[in-house]
Structure 1
Amino acid sequence: MLMVLTMISTTANADPDDFFSPFVSGSYNYDSNFFRLQNDQAAMARLGTSNMAESYFQFTAGAKVNWHISRQLIKAKAEVNRTRFNKYKVLNFDGRDTMLQWDWLIGSALSGDVGVSEKTAQGSFVNIQQPINNLITLKRAFFHGGIELGAPWKLKFGVEKSDSTNSLASQNTLDSTVNTYNTGLQYQTRKGSLLELTSQMSDGRYPNRQIVGLAPVDNGYKQWDNGIQATWEPSGKIKLLGHLNYTQRRYADVPQRNFSGVTGLLSANWQVTEKTGLGLLVYRDIGVVENTTASYSVNRGVTLTASWKATDKVAFNLNVAQSRIAYTGDPGFVLSTGPAREDKLSTLQAGVSYAVLRNTNLGVILQRGVNQSNQDLLSYRFNSVMLNLRSVF
C-alpha cells in the first residue's frame, strides 16, 4: 500500500482519472435504547439500571486511491477509526477497513478484477443485549472475469472467499468461511440495458460446532442460486434493476431447516426533477445473522426513499423501511415444537447535509425504529441521532 501511494504522489502527467484522496471525519452518536431492550425491567436485569441510552464519538481517517498503469487500474483504500463511548467505556474499540483491487484488461476481449479486503468492526448488540464487546473481522479475496463473445454477448465468471471471525468466545460458533463460485451469460442492448442468466454455488463452513441440547451441530451448508438479473433505463430519469433467483440451501446435520424458495430484489429510481428523486426497493433474501441460535434468517421487506437538493449546499433525504426477519435457520426450532423467532422491524430515517466548504460536509441523521417479535423480551423501540462532519481532500 505504501509503495502504491508513494508512486502516485511522485508520478508526473498522471491520468486525469487518477487521484489520491485523503479523508477525515468525526461523528457524535446518541441512541435511546442502545442494547435494544424491551422495557425498564429488562434493562435492570441486563444492565443494572433502567437507563438504556448511550452516546459515543467516532473518529475516522483514511485515503482512497485510483492509479492507472497503461490500461490497468489499481484501486486502494485504507481507513482506521476509533470509537469512544460515554458510559460503557469497556466497549471502546479501534477498527479498520482496507482494500486493494486490480481492474485488469487483456486485449479487447478479456477483463475483470482481482483483490483483497479486510474490515474489523463492532458486532451488533441486538441479540447480545448487554455491554459485552464483540469485534467481527471480515476478510475477503475475489477474482472476477469476463470474456467478450461478440456483441451483444459476454461470458462472466468469478470466485470469492470470505472469512468471518468473532472476538467474543460465546459468539465463535458464528465464525465461518464461505467459498462462492459463479458464472453467467450477459446480453447487452445498444441502449445499455442488461439481461444476465446467472448461476452461483456457495460452500459455507463453520469450524466451531453449535451445541443444541447436548448434541454438537455442524452449521455447514451448500447453497445454489440460479436465476436472472436485469438493468433497464426506459428513460433518462428512470432506472430499474432487479434479480430473481431460485435458492436452495442444504444442511448435512439438520436437514429439517433446509431452505428452498424464490429470492431476489427489485429496485426502481426516479429522478423526478433535477433536484428531487424517489426510490423503491422490494426484496426477499437469506441473511447472515449475529445470533448463536440461528445461522441464517429469511428476510423480506420494502424501502421507500426520497431526496431533495434544496440548494447547491443543502440536501434533504427521507427513508421509510419495513422488514420481516424469520430466524428459520435456528436448529433449536427444528428440533423442538416451539415457533421459530420472527421479527417485524419498521424504521423512519430523516437526514440533512450542508456543504460547509467545497470539500467539507456537515450532516445530521434522525432515526426511529420499532421492532415487534413473537418471542418474549425481543421487542423494542429506539430513537437515535448522528451528527457527522467529513472532509475529503
Structure 2
Amino acid sequence: MLSIRYRPLAVVIGALFTFPLSTPAFAQAEEGMRLYGGIGWAYDDNLLRVPENERPFGNKRGDSYRTLEGGIVYNKRISRQRVAVSAKASKVKFDYFKQLDYDGRDVQGVWNWELGRLFEGRAEASYARTLAPYTDFRSDERNLRQQQHRLIDAGIKMHPSWKLRFGVARDEFTYELLAQRFNNRTEKAAEVELMYTPKSGSSVGLVARRLEGDYPFRRPGRLDNTLADDFTQDELKARVNWIATGSTTLQALVGYVRREQPSFGEGKTSGVNGRVNLLYTPKGKVAYTASVWREFAPIESTAISYTLNKGAKIAANWYATGKVRVDAEAVYEQREYNARRAFIGSDDLNDSIRAANLRATWQATRKIQVITGYSHQQRSGAPALGTSKFDANVVQVSANVLF
C-alpha cells in the first residue's frame, strides 16, 4: 500500500508528550455511528527536551497537562464496500507552560472499494492539528503542526495470482510558528507495483516509486539562499509478505533509493533503504514483533533538513485477560546527518535515540476503556550541531467511552 511516512523515531517518540487519545480499537468492530469522548492526564519530566545540566524556560523542565476530547466514529460495510470515518476535537491544557495550550483536530476517512472481481482499492483523506515535538527545536513557544493527507490506490487482478497496482498520495505540512515555517512542505508520491500471490497466501511484489518534496521557504543559516530544500527520491523495492508458518510472518519492503537534493553538497545520495518486520504470534497470550530499518527522514531542525535513520525495535503484546492487554517496546535509532557544507565537526554528525514504552489497556466494559502508560526517551546528541544529550520520562492515564 502506498503511503508517505513522516514518523521517524525522533518525531514519533517526541510527540508522545502530548499523548493524543486514540480512537478506541473496539470502535472499529461496531458498525454504524457512535459518539466518542475521552479524558486524560499526563506528566512529562522534560517537556521541552532540555539538555542535561540546563534549566532554561523559567528554570522549569517538567509539566503536567490535561486532555479533553470528543468526536464521532462511523464504520459501515455497504455491499462489497467498507467506509470508516472518525472526527474528533481535543483541548489540551498545561499547568505551567500555559502558552502551549491548544485545540487539536483529527479527521480521518477511508473507503475500501471493490468493483466486480477484477478491481479493488482504497481512497483516504485525513487532517490533523497537534503540537509539534521539541526533540530538535529549542523553544518554549507553541508550535502547532498541521498535516493534510490524501491518497488514492487501485489494483487490477490480471490473473488469480497476479495483480497490478497504482497509487498516488499527497501530504502537506504547515507550522504555526514563524521560526519553524522553513519546515512547511508538500510531498507528492506516485508508485506502481506488480504483485504475485500464490495459493499459500504469501506475496511478493516489485515496487517503483517516486517522491517529490517542495519547500516554499528557505532554511535559515544558508550561505546560498537561492537553493531550497526541494528534493526528488526514486525507489525500486521488493515487497515481501512471507507466511513462514502459522505463527510466523516476515514482511519486508527493501530496495535501492536515490535522493537528489541540490541544497546539500553534491546534491545526490543513494543506497539501500527499507524496513523488515518479523511477526511471531504463537498460541497463547503473548505476541512478538521485531523490526529493522534504514530510511531517509525529514527533521525539524534549522541546520539539517533530512537524516538517514538506521534503527531496530522489539515489541511484545500480552493479552493478560479478556479485558487487559499490556504492550511493551524498546526502540533504538541512529541518525546520520548530511551537512550542507564542511565545518568543524561536520565529519561526525551522528546521534542516537533510545526509547522504551509500556502501556496497559483495561477494557472495563464494552464501551469504556482505561489506559495507563509510561514512556522513556534518551538522546545522545550531536555537539557539532548544538543538539545535546537529554532524557525524558512520561507517565499517562486516560479513559474513553463510546456511546
TM-score by length of 1: 0.89
Q: 1:125 aligns with which of 125, 134, 138?
A: 134
**Number of residues paired by the alignment?**
371
- 1:252-288 per-residue CA deviation (whole Å, 9 max, x = no partner) reads 3435353211111111121233211121111111112
- Map 1:149-298 to 2 at 5 A: 149-216=158-225, 217-298=227-308
Aligned mates of 2:77, 2:326 — CA distance in 1: 35
- Aligned residue for 2:46, secondary structure, equals coil
Match of 2:320 in 1: 310
What is the aligned-residue RMSD (CA, Å)? Answer: 1.9
Shift in CA distance, 314/372, structure 1 to aligned 2, threshold 3 Å: same
Aligned mates of 1:247, 1:355 — CA distance in 2: 43
Between the two structures, name the one with larger relative contact order (CA 8 Å, sep ≥ 6). 2
Match of 2:65 in 1: 56
- Aligned residue for 2:364, secondary structure, equals strand
- 1:49-87 per-residue CA deviation (whole Å, 9 max, x = no partner) reads 1x3111111122122222334433332221111111010
Aligned mates of 1:383, 1:211 — CA distance in 2: 31
Match of 2:368 in 1: 360
Is the 8 Å Cα contact of residues 297 and 306 (structure 2) preserved in structure 1? Answer: yes
1:148 aligns with 2:157: yes
Q: 1:28 aligns with which of 41, 50, 54?
A: 41
Aligned mates of 2:79, 2:222 — CA distance in 1: 60
1:75 aligns with 2:88: no
Is the 8 Å Cα contact of residues 135 and 166 (structure 1) preserved in structure 2? Answer: yes
Q: 2:330 aligns with which of 320, 334, 337?
A: 320
Is the 8 Å Cα contact of residues 221 and 302 (structure 2) preserved in structure 1? Answer: no
Match of 1:13 in 2: none
Match of 2:119 in 1: 110
Is the 8 Å Cα contact of residues 136 and 299 (structure 2) preserved in structure 1? Answer: no
- 1:200-220 per-residue CA deviation (whole Å, 9 max, x = no partner) reads 001111111224344313100
Greater shift, 270-279 or 30-39, is seen at 270-279
Aligned mates of 1:52, 1:366 — CA distance in 2: 18
Is the 8 Å Cα contact of residues 123 and 290 (structure 1) preserved in structure 2? Answer: no
1:346 aligns with 2:354: yes
- Map 1:326-337 to 2 at 5 A: 326-328=336-338, 330-331=339-340, 334-337=341-344
Unaligned runs of 5+ in 1: 1-15
Aligned mates of 2:266, 2:242 — CA distance in 1: 39
Structure 1 runs (4+) greater than 6 angstroms displaced: none
2:345 maps to a residue whose letter is: G
Shift in CA distance, 211/52, structure 1 to aligned 2, threshold 3 Å: closer
- Aligned residue for 2:199, secondary structure, equals coil
Shift of 1:17: 7.1
Shift in CA distance, 280/152, structure 1 to aligned 2, threshold 3 Å: same
Unaligned runs of 5+ in 2: 1-28
Shift of 1:114: 2.1
- Aligned residue for 1:215, secondary structure, equals coil
- Aligned residue for 1:326, secondary structure, equals strand
1:309 maps to a residue whose letter is: Y
- Aligned residue for 2:322, secondary structure, equals coil
